[in-house]
Each structure stands twice: as C-alpha cells, then as structure tokens.
Amino acid sequence: MISSRTLVAIAGAGAFIVWLLYATGGLVYLYAVSQVFFATSRMEREIREIDALGRANPKFARGLDVQGADDGDRKKAGYVALSYGDKLHENRSVSVQTSVRLDDLLDAGETLPEPTLLKAFVQARAARLGDGECKLLEQALASRCVVRMSNGEPDTRGLARISMTLGFVQKSPFGALPSGPRAAYVETDEAIGGQRPVRNSLSGLPDARARAYAEIAALCDKLRVSQGNCAITRVMVAASPDPTGSAAEFSARATLSSLMALDG
C-alpha cells in the first residue's frame, strides 16, 4: 500500500522533472525527437510500400518456374501487375495525352471564366475528363477504374492540353496458367490502329480512344484464345493537335502480358 505522503512525493518529483524539462527546453527537445521518430517511421513505411511495388504476389503462379520475369534483382513491372490481376496496381495504367477545345469543357449555360481563373478552370475540368475517360475504359476493358492523376493547361489556341493517368482492373479474366512446370513471361508492345498516327478531328478524339480501348481488349481476347492467357499492362494514347488546333494526330499503344508454357 502506497501512503499518501509517498504519492505526494512522487507527484512532486514528476512535476519537478516536467518543470526542469520545460525550463531547459527539454520538452521542445522531446517533441523534436518524437517528430524525428514519427517521420522516420513514416519514411520506413513508404520505403516498404515502394519496395512492395517491385515484388510479385507470392500467391500467384505458385509452383510455376517463370522465366523472363526478372528485371535485375526485381520482377518486371508488368509481371508484378499481372500477379495482382484482381487489384488496382500502380504498374497497370492507362496514360492519356489529349487536347480539347476550352468551350467543350463548359457545362450548358456556362461561359469561360476570366483569364486569371482559366488555369484553375482547366485543372478542375481535367478531373472531370478523367472520370469520363474511366467510363470509356469500363465500357471496353476495365471492371474498375480510378483517376490517379489529371492535369490540364490552357494554351494560346483556345485549347486545353490534358494529361491523365488511370489505374484499372481488367474486365476479362487473365485466363489459364500454363500447367508447368516452366513458363515464360512475355510482354508484347502493340501499336493500335496501325504504326502511324491517324489524323482526327478534336471532337472525334474520345471516339478514337474508345475504339482503341475496344481494339486492345479484342487483341488481348485473341491472345487469350491462342496462348491461354493475356493481361493488359499498360496503355498509352496520345493526340497532338496541329497548329490550327482543329485536328490532331492520334496514336495508341498497348503492352500485353502473358505466360506461355515452356513444357509439352
């Protein structure tokens, strides 16, 4: 049993230590030390997360000797994305570079803001375009889509240059894994709609992208039939407007991944 005098003495000693720390700047020191500790913990966590990006899902293709998936001491980005096929993964993305007329960013009844607010306006509407792009992706090849990044910048031709990065989960299943014991990881980079950029009107660019996404999905389906499996790893679509700003050169590329049997 602790006596009340002992309690008072302990409380007094505690108060003295706090006062001493305060008087000597010790509390500030302890605060600084705790901040450093928490910052270090945060950094360690972030480093672990970044590190995890380079590691494949250990549950994927268990028992299969996959060759061609290594990139130095890590796995290839596409293979890592493939191994997490049912989840959104940083290594699986669609990048879009395009231009739209500023007027086409307006809602019904809206007018363009004054010049000083134009950049904010384009940035805000770029996010909305990202949402719209996700819908296009979900129609063609994605079961889930998120806007990771969207950026917009007005130019002097009355256009907005838009760039966005979308994350997605593929709609079609990957397919069957090779029965083993060995398989080769194969990435193919495909030019969609031909090797050369195609001239399009600005207003026709969303349709051009929708067609490209559908073509990529069809290409992957075809590979799945012939090779047993296919995953869409990366899609890049770009449109460069001509000097008049009325039309653009459109191009699209896709990286498809598959695991091919090396035995029997």
Partner 1 sequence: MRALGVSMLAGLSLSLAACGGDVPSGNPADEVGRELRGYRAPPGVMMGADEKPYWVQSAIKGFRPVKDGDVPGSLVQREGIGGCAFTRPAENEVVATVMVDDSLVDSPVYILSRRLVGDRAENLINVLKANGKTVVASDVTGDSLNVVDVAVTERSKPVYLVLASGGGLLFNVHLAPGARVSRVAVIGGRTMAVANLDPATPVEFLTGDAGAACGATPMRIPADHWSFVRNAREAGGSLDDVLERNYAMQRQWAQWFRDSFGVDSEPGASGAATTAHVLAGPMPASSKERATYRPLKGATVLISRADYIVAGSRQDYRKLNSELVRTAATEAAGGDLAALRPTGG
Nearer to partner 1, 135 or 199 (CB): 135
For the record, the structure tokens of 80 come out as 């890592």
Amino acid in position 226: S
Q: Does 165 bind partner 1 (CB under 8 A)?
A: no
Q: Does 81 bind partner 1 (CB under 8 A)?
A: no
DSSP percent split of the chain into helix, strand, coil, nearest 5:
40, 30, 25
Q: Does 111 bind partner 1 (CB under 8 A)?
A: no
Q: Does 171 bind partner 1 (CB under 8 A)?
A: no
d(CA 191, CA 256): 11
Size of the site for partner 1 (CB under 8 A): 24
- Sequence-distant (6+) residues with CB within 8 A of 91 are 53, 77, 78, 80, 81, 233, 234
Output phi, psi for 200, to 5 deg. Answer: -135, 150
Among 51, 70, 110, 242, binds partner 1 (CB under 8 A): 110
- Which H/E stretch holds residue 35? helix 26-53
Among 11, 13, 32, 124, binds partner 1 (CB under 8 A): 124
Nearer to partner 1, 84 or 221 (CB): 84
Q: Does 150 bind partner 1 (CB under 8 A)?
A: yes
Instruction: Give me the least distance between CB of 155 and partner 1, in Å please.
Output: 15
Q: Does 148 bind partner 1 (CB under 8 A)?
A: yes
Q: Does 116 bind partner 1 (CB under 8 A)?
A: yes
Strand partners, 160: 100, 154
Q: Does 120 bind partner 1 (CB under 8 A)?
A: yes
- Sequence-distant (6+) residues with CB within 8 A of 144 are 88, 138, 168, 169
Where on the phi/psi map is residue 111: left (φ > 0), alpha (ψ -120 to 50), or beta? beta
Instruction: Give me the least distance between CB of 120 and partner 1, in Å please.
Output: 4
Q: For every residue of 77-142, which 3-state class applies, written as one string?
A: HHHHHHHCCCCCCCCCEEEEEEEEEHHHHCCCCCCCCCHHHHHHHHHHHHHHHHHHHHHHHHHHCE
Among 1, 3, 63, 107, binds partner 1 (CB under 8 A): 107
- On whether the CB atoms of residues 99 and 160 are closer than 8 A, the answer is yes
Nearer to partner 1, 116 or 156 (CB): 116
Among 74, 101, 119, 253, binds partner 1 (CB under 8 A): 119
Among 75, 125, 209, 234, binds partner 1 (CB under 8 A): 125
Instruction: Give me the least distance between CB of 93 and partner 1, in Å please.
Output: 11
Q: Does 8 bind partner 1 (CB under 8 A)?
A: no
Q: Does 85 bind partner 1 (CB under 8 A)?
A: no
Q: Which chain residues interact with partner 1 by CB under 8 A?
A: 88, 107, 110, 113-114, 116-121, 123-125, 127-128, 131, 144, 146-150, 167
